[in-house]
Amino acid sequence: MIDHKLRSQLCAGPAVAGLLAASLVALAGPAHAQLFDRWPAPAQQMEQRAPDATAPPAAEAPAQPAAKPKPVRKPKPAPEPTAQGTDPAADAAAASPRRAAAPKPAAAPAGAPKAIACAGVFAKGSSHLQLAQTFDAKNVEFGEVDGPEGSKLNATIVYPTDPKRRLEVLWQNEAARSDVSLIVVTGQSGWTAPKGLKLGLPLAQLEKANGKPFKVSGFDQDNGGSVIDWQGGALAALPGGCKVGVRLTADAKATDAAKAQAAGKEFASTDAALKGVKPVIAEILIGYPQD
C-alpha cells in the first residue's frame, strides 16, 4: 500500500493514457553478374615440298638420342578393410577422444527486473506507451492499485501477474497516461532503485548508500518507519531530477518491547532504539515533483 504522507512529500496526484505504434522498413539490394571473354588460338599448318632428284643428297643429320620415358607412378594399393570400417584414418579419428564443447552461459530471463534510473523509459516525460514498447504490450496494463487508507489509484502496471517483476507507475497526466508522477516498488518486487536500493535492504546499508545518518518516523506513526529527512545525504537529490522515499518495516522477530522503544515522533538512523528492531526496506517510492 502506498503511504499517503510519504507520497505527498514526493509529488502530487496521479494521471494516465497512450497508444502503441510500430513501423517496418524493408531494404532490397541490386543483383550483379560477371562476364568472361574467350580468346581462341588458331592452329598452324606447315607445307611439305617434294625432294629434288637432281640435287645432291644432303648430309644426314646425326641421330638425336631418344628421350627417356618418364617413370610411371604405380597407384598405391587400396587399404585393407579393418574390423571397424574401410578407412583406417577415419577409424583412428573416430577412436581419438574429443574435447567436450564448453557450455554456453545461461541467458538472463526476458524482462527480468533491472535497475530503475531517472532517465530513459523512467524519465519524467515517459508514458504508458513507452513502457509498453519497452516491456511488450502484453506485459503492461492500466488498472487500479492500492492507495492510502484502503483507497484505489489508477496506474500502469508492469508485469501485473508476476509479484517479483511487478512495478507500478502513476502519472501526472492520468488522462494521457504520461509524465511520471510516482514509481512504486513494493510487495515482492525485485526491481532496484537508484543507488542500489532494493526491498529487504537493512538499515546499515541504507545509511551507507546515503553517506550519512538520516531521520526516520517512529513505527507507531501513520507513516511509521518512513524516512522523513535524508539530512543532505546522497539520496536527498538524484540525477534526473527525481526524489526517492523509503519506508522501513521492523524485523518480524522483533519483540514488543523493542518495538515500543522505536515508537515516537522521529529517530536518527544511528539511534539504538531504531536499530533494536532491525528494520529493512519494505517500500520504495521514486517521484518527480510537479513544476
pLDDT tens per residue, range 214-258:
999 999 988 899 999 999 999 998 999 999 999 999 999 999 999
Contact 171, 156 (CB under 8 A): yes
Nearest Cα to 279, choosing from 234, 196, 261? 261
AA identity, residue 271? D
DSSP conformational letter for 202: B
Look at residue 222 in the predicted model and tell me its pLDDT: 80
Per the structure block, which three cell numbers stand in for 280? 529493512
Determine how many CB atoms are found less than 10 A away from the CB of residue 206: 22
* Cα 129 from Cα 30, distance rounded (Å): 38
Per the structure block, which three cell numbers stand in for 174? 492520468
Tell me which residues of the chain have a pLDDT lower than 70. Answer: 1-113, 291
Determine how many CB atoms are found less than 10 A away from the CB of residue 258: 18
Look at residue 22 in the predicted model and tell me its pLDDT: 33
Contact 116, 194 (CB under 8 A): yes
Nearest Cα to 170, choosing from 145, 193, 194, 192? 145
Look at residue 80 in the predicted model and tell me its pLDDT: 55
- Strand-by-strand arrangement of the 140-146 sheet: 140-146, 152-158, 167-173, 178-185, 280-287, 243-249
- What Cα–Cα distance (Å) separates residue 266 from each residue in 35, 120, 225, 257, 263? 88, 36, 9, 18, 8
Q: What is the pTM of this model?
A: 0.64
Per the structure block, which three cell numbers stand in for 273? 532504539
Look at residue 289 in the predicted model and tell me its pLDDT: 86
Helix (H, G, I), strand (E, B) or coil at 157: strand
Torsion angle of alpha carbons 267, 272, 277, 283, nearest 10°? 40
Look at residue 223 in the predicted model and tell me its pLDDT: 81
* Cα 214 from Cα 268, distance rounded (Å): 6
Contact 36, 148 (CB under 8 A): no
